């Protein structure tokens, strides 16, 4: 069975910044390699990727879970065969903070207007 790779696009602000890319660049080498590994899994499996790597948050949003010394999260959504990486942050509580969810959700809404 041939696996069709999904396209991965990182969200870009109006000022041409890519917040997820900037977040990844700031991470330690070990965390960076885990992020790259998980993004590759996401690219390969898309919406079939599940726990412990990915989790449905609801409202069309998903989280890519990077575990290690620090818990990192990348929130993303799907649009046909494209995965949009919307927002990334260091997770410091059990629940995803509402402001992190809302930021990713507003970016998703912005993309669906295009």
* pLDDT value at 109 more than 60: yes
* pLDDT value at 3 more than 80: no
| Cis peptide, bond prior to residue 63, ω within 30 of zero | no
Mean pLDDT computed over 80-98: 93
* pLDDT value at 16 more than 80: yes
- What are the φ/ψ torsions at residue 30 (nearest 5 degrees)? -65, -45
- pLDDT range class, residue 2, cuts 50, 70, 90: low
pLDDT in tens, 43-66: 999 999 999 999 999 999 999 999
Mean pLDDT computed over 17-28: 96
Task: Write down the domain spans for the chain.
Answer: 7-112
Residue 21, strand partner residues: none
- pLDDT range class, residue 15, cuts 50, 70, 90: very high
Taking the CA of residue 38 as centre, how many other CA atoms within 13 Å lie in the half-sphere pointing to its CB? 25
Share of the chain above pLDDT 70, in %: 96
Pick the CATH number of 7-112 from 3.40.50.10140, 3.40.50.300, 3.40.605.10, 3.30.2310.20: 3.30.2310.20
């Amino acid at each position: 069975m041939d696996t069709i790779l999904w396209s991965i696009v990182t969200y870009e602000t109006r000022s041409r910044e890519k917040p997820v890319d900037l977040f990844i660049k700031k991470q330690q080498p070990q965390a960076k390699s885990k992020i790259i590994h998980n993004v590759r899994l996401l690219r390969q499996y898309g919406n079939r990727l599940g726990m412990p790597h990915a989790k449905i948050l609801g409202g069309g949003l998903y989280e890519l879970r990077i575990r290690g010394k620090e818990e990192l999260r990348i929130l993303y959504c799907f649009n046909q065969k494209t995965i949009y990486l919307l927002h990334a942050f260091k997770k410091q509580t059990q629940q995803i903070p509402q402001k992190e969810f809302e930021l990713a959700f507003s970016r998703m809404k912005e993309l669906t207007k295009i």
